[in-house]
Amino acid sequence: MMVGISALIALAAGIPLAVFLVLSGPGGLIHAPRANRVLAALINGFRATPFIVLLVALLPFTRFVTGTTIGVWAAVVPLSISATPFFARIAEVSLREIDSGLIEAAQAIGCRRWHIVRHVLLPEAMPGIVGGFTITIAFVTRNSPSTRRIATANGCCRGMSSTGLSRAVSGASPCRRNSAVRVSPMSRSPR
């Protein structure tokens, strides 16, 4: 459920971001180079941040949005925030591959920007967008165990120290001092 919801949020937010990046880019239909540079820098920053770092940094925001840092809805927030820039870049590449002659032809017959986006850009880029969405689902699926581990550790030990959080990230239980199972030589079964 959390993978599907996160992927759908990334799809819904990533397509408008990609369309804006293409329209406001060099040679685009909207002249907004500063907005394009700022948005591109934000997307690059989120994409360059390792998921586990982003996950921990978003814990206060997740608590603000969902009211908790445990459960499916709390996991959806960091997953969708990390997947949206990832998908936006893939969709942007698909949109940029469209022949500029199609856009010029649409402008020549009097199409407005919205019509060009809706009837030219998106239909022509749909195969690449669908392929990119498939890759995004794999990206979200790859990151979901990390989200589960942090959400479970955070729910298990509220107010834990940074040592507990680092133990949760490494896979050890943050709730017990010695989480390793010790096996005495006497308890081993003969082979």
Domain borders along the chain are: 2-187
Is the domain 2-187 a CATH 1.10.3720.10 member? Answer: yes
Instruction: Give the three-state DSSP class for 186.
Output: helix
The segment with the largest mean pLDDT, out of 9-18, 46-55, 61-70, is: 9-18
pLDDT tens-digit readout, 11-52: 999 999 999 999 998 888 888 889 999 999 999 999 999 888
Phi and psi based region of residue 26 (left: phi greater than 0; alpha: psi -120 to 50; beta: remaining): beta
Exposed/middle/buried for 160, CB within 10 Å: 0-12, 13-18, 19+? middle
pLDDT tens-digit readout, 95-115: 999 988 998 899 999 989 899
